[in-house]
Structure 1
Amino acid sequence: MTLAYIFSEIPIAVIVIPIFILFVFALYYFNKKQVILRKLSKTRHRAISSLKTNEFVKVHGKALHVKEPLIAPLSKRKCVFYTMKLERKVSSGKSSYWKTVVDEEKTQDFFLEQNGSYVIVRPKSFPNKNYKSFLVKDKKASSGVFNDPTPEFKALLKAYNIDSEGFFGFNKKLRYEEGVIEIGEKLTVAGIAKWKTLNEPIPEYAYSKIVELISDEKEKLIITDHPNTLKESRIKL
């Protein structure tokens, strides 16, 4: 009895359904948010005031700007980190899909403050990205044939040189999502604790040394404002 004969006798659903379930599970298990949440759940949580040098830890606190804050593209919120994506619905034959038009992420150095104690975080994208991140997408906008873009959305499209209308003056099918870490927002950051001597003074910070959360070849910084990461029962001292 050949393998081909054996497989031909097995109902196709018996093969396809488990493969489909495995595929869906893999999409969920390995998506960026779940990878970050699992990593943080296994990382020691410490108070900023008790950080130990060279230890990979996670800390919670409020984001404070070191320099002039960034401005989020659509919501115009002052922030230290934002990510945005703009997509357009494209038709191809009998099918259609969402094509990414703009995918932008900007960060800057920021403080994390907790009960009067501070650490500094310096996310870098160039030459090599030193962090992983997940930001909750809490601002969305869209337009379509019977859905006019808001004035704010239209202004954003103009800023990125994107026409809101297509042929015959109909609105293009566009969608936008934005996540930010606002000034004063609570978040979680994980990294390797290092005491640093400041070569140049930092505005609004009166000390010559500060703890910095850094990355290395094995561990990248992790930055997220997902609320589940803030649900700690107790802090390791």
Structure 2
Amino acid sequence: MASFYLSKKNTVLRKLKTYTPKQIAHFKIGEPTKTTGKVLQVTQPFIAPYTKRPCVAYTFKVEQRVSTGKSSHWKTLVKKEDIQDFFIEKQGDMVMIKPTENNYLLYMEQDHKIQSGVLNNPTDKFLNVLKELGVENKNWFGLNKTLRYTERIIEIGETITVGGIAKLKSLSQPIEGYNYSKLATLESTNTHRLIITDHPKAQIKKN
């Protein structure tokens, strides 16, 4: 699984290099563009199961260590991920990001990992999360299962980088604190997906 995320990270960082860094106010319509800024919510944000932090994207997974005789492996018991529309804000300018099921490539850094086992009792907080997800923490003999939980999120207020095709959209409804009738967006096309990441190496230092 670590190799999967490493490969995904490298893919995201490599693809972002093909997008032109721009300040939001200087977007050129139709140009593959990337920008770094602070995440703002469009609607009610998600709440991450373990950290309880408000976020616009998350992925979490519960795994159990299972033995098959001479070897053992991690079996996924629960896995869920989701993403919603959000804004990127930089120096008072905003850009709308609208991910859909197949139009984006996302890499998030690991925010939290916790594990329990036979000699490692789960914390009350971990037990509550397992209960909410319908995962039993003990086996038939009353011993702790070897479980681990990992969580990755894009948090409200976090600085991230997004790449896409620059567009300008008319607003059908006003946005609080935003006094313009049109809003910059980064979108996907048949040849360019949205690229979204919170990896520090992706950040544009002079954006």
Measured against the shorter chain, the TM-score band is over 0.9
Matched, 1:136 2:112: no
Contact 1:91 1:97 in 2 (8 A): yes
Q: Matched residues in 2 for 1:198 and 1:149: separation?
A: 49
For 1:116 and 1:122, the matched residues in 2 are separated by: 20
Q: Does 1:79 align with 2:42?
A: no
Q: Does 1:161 align with 2:134?
A: yes
Larger Rg: 1
Of residues 194, 203, 207, the one that matches 2:180 is 207
Residue 231 of structure 1, CA deviation:
5.1
Residue identity opposite 1:137 in structure 2: Q
Residues of 2 paired with 1:206 and 1:74: CA distance? 37
Question: Could you tell me the percent identity over the aligned residues?
Answer: 46
Matching residue's letter, 2:142: G
Identify the residue that residue 30 of structure 2 maps to in structure 1.
Answer: 54
Q: Is the partner of 2:21 in helix, strand or coil? A: coil
Q: Runs of 5+ in structure 2 lacking a partner? A: none
Task: Give per-residue Cα distances to partners, 1:45-101, cap 9 Å, x unaligned.
Answer: 111110011111110000000111110011000111111121111111211100111
Structure 1 residue 221 and structure 2 residue 197: aligned? no
Q: Secondary structure at the match of 1:180?
A: strand
Aligned counterparts of 2:49 and 2:11: Cα–Cα separation in 1: 27
Instruction: Report the alpha carbon displacement of residue 40 of structure 1 after superposing the two structures with TM.
Output: 1.4
Asked if structure 1 preserves the Cα contact closer than 8 Å seen for 2:56 and 2:83, the reply is yes
The aligned runs of 1:82-121 (5 Å cut-off) are 82-121=58-97
* 8 A contact 2:36–2:204 mirrored in 1: no
2:97 matched to 1:124? no
Q: Secondary structure at the match of 1:67?
A: coil
Residue 176 of structure 1 and its aligned partner are, at CA, apart by: 1.0
- Partner residue in 1 for 2:148: 175
- State the TM-score, normalized to the length of structure 2: 0.93
User: Distance in 2 between the 1:66 and 1:140 partners?
Assistant: 28
Q: CA deviation at 1:227?
A: 0.6
The partner residue of 1:64 within 24, 40, 62 is 40
Deviation at residue 41 of structure 1 after TM alignment: 2.5
Confirm or deny: 8 A CA contact 2:19 2:164 kept in the other structure.
no
RMSD of the alignment, in Å?
1.8
| TM-superposed deviation, 1:204 | 4.9
Name the one with the larger helix percent: 1
SS at match of 1:219: coil
Structure 1 residue 155, shift from structure 2 partner: 0.9
CA–CA separation in structure 2 for the residues paired with 1:205 and 1:166: 55
Q: Which has the higher strand share?
A: 2
Q: Which runs of 5+ in 1 are unaligned?
A: 1-26
Contact residue 66 and residue 203 of structure 1 kept, 8 A: no
Quick check: 1:84–1:177 contact (8 Å CA) kept in 2?
A: yes
Aligned residues: 205
- TM-score normalized with structure 1 length: 0.82
Q: Distance in 2 between matches of 1:113 and 1:231?
A: 14
**Gap change, CA 1:81 and 1:55, over 3 Å in 2:** same
Which has the higher relative contact order, 1 or 2, with Cα contacts under 8 A spaced 6 or more apart?
2
